[in-house]
Amino acid sequence: MREFSARTRAANMARMAQGRFDVLVIGGGITGTGIALDAAARGLRVALVEKDDFASGTSGRSSRMIHGGLRYLERYDVGLVHEALRERKILRRLAPHLIRPLPVILPADSPREAARYRLGLTAYGLLTAGRNIGSHRPVSGEQVRAAAQGLRGTLRGYRYFECQGDDARLTIEVARAAQGYGALLANHVRARRLLGGARVTGAAVTDEISGERFEIRAAVTVNAAGVWADQVRALAAAGGGQRRLVPSKGVHLVFAPGAVRTTVALFVPSAAGDGHFVFIVPWEDRVYAGTTDTAYGGDLDCPGVGEPDRGYILDTVARDFPGVTGRDVVASWAGLRPLLSGGQGDAATYDLSRKHAIAEDPPGLLTIAGGKLTTYRAMAEDLVDRLARDRPAGRCRTRDIPLGLHGSARAASRLAVERARRLGLAPAAGTRLVRCYGDDWPEAIAMIGADRSLGEPAVDGLPVLRVELELARSREMAITGEDVFVRRTRLTTRDASVPVPAG
Ligand SMILES: Cc1cc2nc3c(=O)[nH]c(=O)nc-3n(C[C@H](O)[C@H](O)[C@H](O)COP(=O)(O)OP(=O)(O)OC[C@H]3O[C@@H](n4cnc5c(N)ncnc54)[C@H](O)[C@@H]3O)c2cc1C
């Protein structure tokens, strides 16, 4: 098992302070880690700093869908859908344990709605040709009820497929793969000033754990700071220039086991009647629902779930699943989309583009903004292609770099279930270890074999095992209790009342 720990972090920081890099990446979300992996795999010398934790920004707060974006077809954004479907297929191959097919039902209330969905799904089907997981098909009211037992009435609808994956765990696997190709990564290191005059030549950074300060020198600095990208640009001596991002907030609510009875995801119109849709998605023994999409002007570090956000989602879920109330909500999260303003000021962010853009301003600082979790690999390829124009670098290799698992997830799960059973663990524990740790599941099982207490639940009633708290620190550079509980194991998005240990 590759060590990626506090010790790795300390060694990385020492080397960052001494070396000179081809690329310094600021931001350890999916975009920044994706760029670090792509650049390192092409032979470039890469450093990456993240002010908080990997995936602590938007990349740990998404809807967790690796999807083509059916709704973008309403805006005839065929290019975006096409790219996302291609990337979905690549990611399923690279990380089959993390990214799994998810059946989705679009319930239709009226013949008009049914005709609209049929048209959209037919276009989607044409675009998915060769990349499809299963073709869409009409489903009867009875079939809908069998899949979503708690759903009101006897709605007919259409079924199609998307994929689901844990966004934070995908980000950490990409970060680990980048380190495997020689990139140096450190979380809890903040870029606080950009070096250089007219041209940016790196960054002055602070280790947020020890308070220590040092400088990292690089030929090119990449600003992959998501919704913070305007702030990072403003750290340059040349100043920040025009504001380019309009953050938009999206919240999700998590419902207690059994409260929202469905085994498929549902994509339903919001109860607010604003033309937006809400995803209701099964996740292990729970269901989460989201999202809102509202322009946001508050503190970027702590977007909260307010009463209006909560009401918007709850009203939709309660309309479709009679009997569900606020008491069924066990956790929630809020994230900010880094949408490009497109010069439209405060225009409704729902209609703004989800495409990405790259700009060099000032010289030496490449800012990448926008995009989706699903398309991170293509965004990284685009950016590193641009870097490669000015320096010797190989071709993009990320289409063929596995993200934590070589081979079939099903075959690994069969073996892991058997090995788990021999240790007296439930079959679900074996499956879970493969889904979370890919190729490293045998080491996880061996750790439990050596210390049986590691096979016990980390928190009573939740599926996370104690061995995972150790793996978070030794395998995944978790430094604080929050890193472990919020992002590596997702204990707090299962149940918000789980206390997060300090340190
Ligand atoms: C509610 C919601 C739902 C979504 N659902 C989906 C979905 O289902 N599927 C999909 O494909 N996409 C989805 N998206 C979009 C997707 O999540 C984002 O496009 C993606 O996560 C953005 O990643 P990023 O790396 O660019 O930004 P972030 O993940 O925000 O990463 C930027 C990082 O930069 C760091 N940083 C900032 N300033 C500094 C500094 N000075 N020094 C060092 N580090 C710094 C931050 O701490 C942060 O970790 C969703 C977005 C939202 C908000």
| Residue 72 lies inside a defined structural domain of this protein | no
Strands (DSSP E) along 297-452, which ranges? 329-340, 356-360, 365-370
Closest Cα to residue 371, out of 21, 92, 32? 32
Residue 323, in any domain of the structure = yes
Average pLDDT, the chain: 92
With cut-offs at 50, 70 and 90, classify the pLDDT of residue 338.
Answer: confident
Q: How confident is the model over 452-476, as pLDDT tens digits?
A: 999 999 999 999 999 999 999 999 9
Instruction: Compute the distance from residue 58 Cα to the ligand 1 centre, in Å.
Output: 3
Average the pLDDT over each of 44-48, 136-140, 212-216, 253-257 and give the range with the smallest value.
136-140
Residue 73 binned pLDDT confidence (cut-offs 50, 70, 90): low
Q: Is 153 left (phi over 0), alpha (psi -120 to 50) or beta?
A: left
Residue type, 140: S
Chain centre distance of CA 182: 23
**Which CATH number is 116's domain given?**
3.30.9.10
Residue 108 lies in a domain: yes
In a domain, 70, yes or no: no
pLDDT recorded at residue 122: 84
Q: How many Å lie between the centroid of ligand 1 and the Cα of residue 14?
A: 27
pLDDT of residue 502: 87
Degrees, nearest 5: CA angle 373-288-295: 60
Count CB atoms within 10 A of the CB of residue 304: 11
Contact 95, 374 (CB under 8 A): no
Encoded amino acid at 398, one letter: T
Give the Å distance between the CA of 57 and the centre of ligand 1: 5
Residue 313 shares a structural domain with residue 203 = no
Ligand 1 atom closest to residue 27's alpha carbon, by position in its atom list: 34
Instruction: Find the DSSP H helices in 242-297.
Output: none
Same domain? For 462 and 322 the reply is no
Start-end of H helices in 55-199: 78-94, 111-127, 141-147, 167-180
Measured between alpha carbons, how far is 111 from 129 in angstroms, rounded to an integer? 27
Q: What is the mean pLDDT of residues 386-407?
A: 93
For residue 130, what are its two tokens?
A: 């060769």
Whether residues 489 and 395 share a domain: the answer is: no
Is 65 touching ligand 1 by the criterion CB < 6 Å?
yes
Residue with the smallest CA separation from ligand 1 atom 21 is 59
Is 77 domain-assigned? Answer: no
What is the predicted pLDDT for the residue at 348?
Answer: 47
Q: Ligand 1 centre from 443 Cα, in Å? A: 31
Residue 270 CB–ligand 1 contact under 6 Å: no
- Are 326 and 473 in the same domain? no
Any domain includes 314: yes
Residue 460: strand, helix, or coil: coil
What number is the average pLDDT over the span 82-96? 93
Query: Are 192 and 206 contacting, i.e. CB atoms less than 8 angstroms apart?
Result: yes
Domain termination residue (choose one: 301, 322, 340):
340
Any ligand 1 atom below 6 A from CB of 228? yes
Of 300, 321, 340, the one marking the end of a domain is 340
- Nearest Cα residue to 8 out of 180, 217, 140, 131: 180
Same domain, 414 and 480: yes
Pocket residue to mutate for ligand 1, from 16, 59, 104, most atoms within 8 A of Cβ: 59
Q: How far is CA 235 from the centre of its chain?
A: 26
Residues 255 and 334 occupy one common structural domain: yes
442 found inside a domain: yes
Structure tokens at 267: 């994509």
pLDDT at 352 over 50: no
Q: What was the pLDDT predicted at 82?
A: 84
Find the range with the poorest average confidence among 269-273, 340-344, 435-439, 442-446: 340-344
As a whole number of angstroms, the distance between CA 409 and CA 369 comes to 33
- Assess contact for 279 and 293: CB atoms under 8 A: no
| Domain coverage including residue 437 | 409-494
Is 29 close to ligand 1, i.e. is its CB under 6 Å away? Answer: yes
Q: Do 173 and 149 share a structural domain?
A: no
Q: Could you tell me if the CB of 26 is within 6 A of ligand 1?
A: yes
CATH number, domain containing residue 176: 3.50.50.60
216 token code pair: 């990292």
pLDDT exceeds 80 at position 243: no
Per-residue confidence (pLDDT) for residue 231, from 0 to 100: 95
Spatial separation of the C-alpha atoms in residues 431 and 149, rounded to whole Å: 26
Does residue 274 sit in the same domain as residue 386? no
Alpha helices in 237-321 (DSSP H): 307-320
Same domain, 234 and 353: yes
Q: Is residue 81 part of a domain?
A: no
Q: Do 239 and 250 have their domain in common?
A: no
The one-letter code for the residue type at 466 is R
Using alpha carbons, list the distances in angstroms from residue 292 to 39, 165, 207, 208: 35, 20, 34, 32
Ligand 1 atom 37: the closest Cα is on which residue? Answer: 225
pLDDT above 90 coverage of the chain, percent: 80
Among 400, 422, 437, the domain boundary falls at: 400
Decide: residue 389, CB within 10 A, 0-12 exposed, 13-18 middle, 19+ buried: exposed
Q: What is the pLDDT of residues 296-334, one digit of tens each?
A: 999 999 999 999 999 999 999 999 999 999 999 999 999
Task: List the residue whose alpha carbon is closest to atom 15 of ligand 1.
Answer: 372
From 63, 169, 253, 379, the mutation candidate for ligand 1 (largest count of ligand atoms within 8 A of CB) is 63
User: Does 182 lie in the same domain as 42?
Assistant: yes
Residues 255, 336 within the same domain: yes
Measured between alpha carbons, how far is 437 from 470 in angstroms, rounded to an integer? 12
For residue 267, the cross-strand partners are 279
Is residue 351 very low, low, confident or very high in pLDDT (cuts 50, 70, 90)? very low
Mean pLDDT of 83-106: 94
Confirm if 299 and 305 have CB atoms less than 8 A apart: no
Lowest mean pLDDT, pick from 166-180, 379-393, 426-440, 460-474: 379-393
Which residue would you say has higher pLDDT here, 411 or 126?
Answer: 411
Please count the structural domains in the chain. Answer: 3
Nearest CA to ligand 1 atom 31: 29
CA distance 454 to 191: 37
So what's the pLDDT on residue 345?
41
